[in-house]
A and B are shown apart, each in its own frame.
Chain A
Amino acid sequence: MIGVFDNEFDLVKAFEKVKARGVKIDEVYTPYPIHEILEGMGKKTRISHAAFFYGLFGALLVLGGMYYAAVVSWPLNFGGKPFNTFPSFIVVTIVATILIVTLATLFTFSARAKVFPGKQARIVHPAATNDKFVMVLLTDGSAEEAAALERILQENGASEIIKQNEPHG
């Protein structure tokens, strides 16, 4: 069952009522992020953890690479200064690490959120990227359950209710 709302306030109210009833919410489609929904859906993302590790390994990689080039591969004596000129490696390490983190995080985002070039959009409601807030519910199939949910959606201001047998129909 799909409930379509005109604004985020109605959607959030209905979302909380439906959730309180213990109905499984398959997915919510909105034109912009709504924090109540993102939290309420109970999904967690580990993108920021991943980014931290990309940064850690990126920094080691860059610093290690420069150390290898300047000390191991081709040590060059200029002015009797040490081969490992650590302070002047810092700038490149910071900037290159930021680049590595950015690109790696983008790829992670692309892979995890499944947003990538050439992907066909599975559009549930064509206005969900424009001005409608769409909530897809999985019902247990019984008529009473469906009727009760329909009532909740209606009471909370759903502008349209679509019933389908298959999710993402």
Chain B
Amino acid sequence: MYKTSIRGKLIEGDKSLAQISTDILAPIDAKTPKWWYVAMTVSLAMFGWGLYCKYITLSQGIGTWGVNNTVGWGWAIINFVWWIGIGHAGTAFSIFLLILRQKWRTAINRAAEAMTVVAVACAGLFPLLHMGRPWLFFFVFPYPNTRGPLWVNFNSPLFWDFVAISAYLLISASFWYFGMVPDFATIRDTTKSKIKKAVYGFFAFGWVGSSKEWLRFEALSFVLGGIAAVLVVSVHSIVSTDFAVSVEPGWHTTIFPPYFVVGAIFSGFAMVLTLVTLMRKLYKMNDFITDSHVDAVCRILIFISLIMGTAYLTEIFIAWYSGSEYEMFTFFHNRITGEYAFQFWAMFTCNALVPQLFWFKSVRSRLWVVFIISILINIGMWYERFNIVITSLTKNYLPASWAGYSPSIIEIGFFIGTLGMFSAGVLLFFRYIPMIAVSEVKSIAKFNEEIQPNEDH
């Protein structure tokens, strides 16, 4: 049970229902602010550079990247796993917190879902281009064909991954869209602009808010919420099997699925925190994303950070306890010490140590500190994937085949391109879509005593 006396109000400012609509939809009706154009230009420039790098990759091949025979997975796979991890926040927020009946999620779930869709789309680009011949992408679909018929290998985690990621993208996009239908109807019925009325009216699918619609809408959320909850754990578990099933030192461990899932939720929540602090600062959504919302996410991050620290220590312990010299070498000479020690300690500091600052209320209540820590966590999570992918591949069983790896400018550009794509997507979301679920926020308004009318009213 949510107690406002303990946790603070869900919505500040004694708002009427109409006020909630007006406040949340204000950025859609308002003039586009200048900073938006500046941010969009920067994002598009980054995206453009990414497109150029993709063109070079497509026209000249994977040879333009820094990968080699030994280190076959470079930045592309690091970034793929990183983006997928960030894309975990959508299901974690909307579905996990829905099942746990956390009412505070309503202010944040829309942004988390939007972020998920864009992040997963960014992630998908990496394996696609890593294929080398992406125009033969359709070979990964199991369909009756004239090549034998040559079927895909159903035993391969790479195929599982393909199924998991495409299903996740489709499911989170449809979950996100259908959640917005009632809000599009609100825009249609409140806006004064004829163009907006027509456009949002089309996207509202004729929604009028009748009991017949709400009844089925609720049933739909219940079914999708129940069934998609599996995705919170399945997607990154499957990504982790890409690694865990192969016999590389540092990868071949049973801790991988839970370790990856927790890491994914960690980076997803951190990115949500980055976004909501921006929403508060740029769009003055303080009344809906209250201090208590930020506080709640910070508290969750402390907990996940402790799990991350435990996972790192467990990996190191098991490497020693196993007595396997290859595991020992990977963890003790190629991670904690050695060529990649900086990346290891950056990961450990950002993920296991820095978030511990959230124990202090003075840290949790300073928005700019929260913002910086949320960025640090995502940097730490990037280094985690770097550690896993690069340290294991550069030096494995046969010293004769050891090789170094450094990314080429094309690989770096590809990554920066996806950062641009992500920020452009988020900016479009801020500008054209209600960034907080209006109808869901209205349904929790009655839990604020201030709005609840007297019984004899």
B107 CB to nearest A CB, Å: 14
Please give, as numbers and ranges, the residues of chain A lying within 8 Å of B315 by CB-CB distance.
Answer: none
Contact B182 A30 (CB under 8 A): no
Residues B208 and A47 in contact, CB atoms below 8 Å apart: no
On whether the beta carbons of B220 and A116 are closer than 8 Å, the reply is no
CB of B228 within 8 A of CB of A128, answer no
Do residues B170 and A113 form an inter-chain contact, with CB atoms below 8 A?
A: no
Q: How far is the CA of A91 from the CA of B227 in the complex (A)?
A: 15
Task: Contact check, B181 vs A115: say whether CB atoms are below 8 A apart.
Answer: yes
User: A126 to chain B: which residues have CB within 8 Å?
Assistant: 189
Least Cβ–Cβ distance between A43 and chain B, in angstroms: 6
Contacts of B255 in A (CB 8 A): none
**Using an 8 Å CB-CB cutoff, how does the interface string of B229-244 with A read, 1 for contact, 0 for none?**
0110010001001000
B209 close to A47 (CB less than 8 A): no
A9 and chain B: residue at smallest CB distance = B453
Across-interface contacts of A99 in B (CB, < 8 A):
166-167, 170-171
A105, A114, A115, A130: the one within 8 Å of B223 (CB): A105
Interface residues of A in 109-131 (CB under 8 A from B): 109-110, 112-124, 126-131
Q: Which of B211, B224, B446 contacts A105 (CB 8 A)?
A: B224
Q: CA separation between A10 and B211, bound complex, in Å?
A: 16
Q: Which residue of A lies closest to B443 (CB)?
A: A32
- Report the nearest B residue to A120, measured CB to CB: B206
**With an 8 A cutoff between CB atoms, is B202 at the interface?**
yes
Residue of A33, A70, A131 touching B16 (CB-CB under 8 A): A131
Which residues does chain B contribute within 8 Å of A33, judged by CB atoms?
214-215, 217-218, 443
Flag if B142 contacts A65 (CB, 8 Å): yes
Q: How far is the CA of A41 from the CA of B216 in the complex (A)?
A: 13
Asked if A128 and B209 make an inter-chain contact with CB atoms under 8 angstroms apart, the answer reads yes
The interface size of chain A toward B, counting residues with CB under 8 Å, comes to: 64
- Closest chain B residue, CB of each to CB of A157: B457
B190 surroundings in chain A (CB, below 8 A): 129-130
Report yes or no: A31 in contact with B439, Cβ–Cβ below 8 A.
Answer: yes
Segment of B153-161, B356-364, B397-405 engaged in the interface with chain A: B153-161
Specify which chain A residues have a CB less than 8 angstroms from the CB of B206 in the assembled complex.
114-116, 119-122
Q: Is the C-beta of A164 less than 8 angstroms from some C-beta in chain B?
A: no
How many inter-chain contacts with C-beta < 8 Å in the A-B complex?
A: 195
Q: Is A56 an interface residue (CB 8 A)?
A: no
Q: Is A45 an interface residue (CB 8 A)?
A: yes
Q: Chain A residues near B209 (CB, 8 Å)?
A: 29-31, 128-129
Binary interface encoding of chain A residues 114-151 relative to chain B, with 1 for a CB under 8 A from any of its CBs, else 0: 11111111111011111100000000000000000000
Cβ B170 vs Cβ A94 within 8 A: no
The answer, yes or no, to whether B385 is at the interface (CB within 8 Å) is: no
- Number of B residues contacting the other chain (C-beta, 8 Å)? 67
Contact with A along B174-186 (1 / 0, CB 8 A): 1100100110011
How far, in whole Å, are A129 and B185 apart by their CA atoms in the complex? 7
Identity of the chain A residue whose Cβ is nearest the Cβ of B203 in the assembled complex: A117
Q: Which of A110, A113, A124 contacts B212 (CB 8 A)?
A: A113
Residues in A with CB closer than 8 Å to B218 are 33, 38
Q: In the complex the two chains form, what is the Cα distance from A72 to B282 in whole Å?
A: 59
Point out the residue from B18, B205, B212, B228 that lies within 8 Å of A102, measured CB to CB: B228
B-side contacts of A89, CB under 8 Å? 154
A98 touching B231 by the CB < 8 A rule? yes
Pair B227/A88 contact, Cβ less than 8 Å = no
A51 within 8 A of B: yes
A61 at interface (Cβ–Cβ under 8 A)? no
Chain A residues with Cβ below 8 Å from B149 are 73-74
Query: Is B150 an interface residue when CB atoms closer than 8 A count as contact?
Result: yes
**Interface membership of A60, Cβ < 8 A:** no
Q: In the complex, are the beta carbons of B17 and A31 less than 8 A apart?
A: yes
Looking across the interface, which residue of chain B has its beta carbon closest to that of A70? B154
Check A105 against B220 for contact (C-beta < 8 Å): yes
Bound CA span A66–B185, Å: 42
- Contacts known (A85-B155, A101-B223); A91 close to B171, Cβ less than 8 A: no
**Can you name 24 A-B pairs with beta carbons within 8 Å?**
A9-B452, A27-B212, A32-B440, A32-B442, A32-B443, A37-B211, A41-B211, A43-B211, A47-B216, A51-B223, A66-B142, A70-B151, A74-B148, A89-B154, A94-B230, A95-B231, A95-B238, A98-B228, A102-B228, A109-B178, A110-B205, A124-B208, A129-B209, A130-B186
Across chains A and B, which 10 residue pairs bring their CB atoms closest together, nearest first? A119-B206, A131-B17, A32-B443, A131-B18, A99-B167, A33-B214, A47-B219, A113-B216, A69-B151, A88-B155
Q: Which residues of B contact A (CB under 8 A)?
A: 16-18, 21, 142, 148-151, 154-155, 159-160, 163-164, 166-167, 170-171, 174-175, 178, 181-182, 185-186, 188-190, 201-202, 204-220, 222-224, 227-228, 230-231, 234, 238, 241, 439-440, 442-443, 446, 452-453, 455, 457
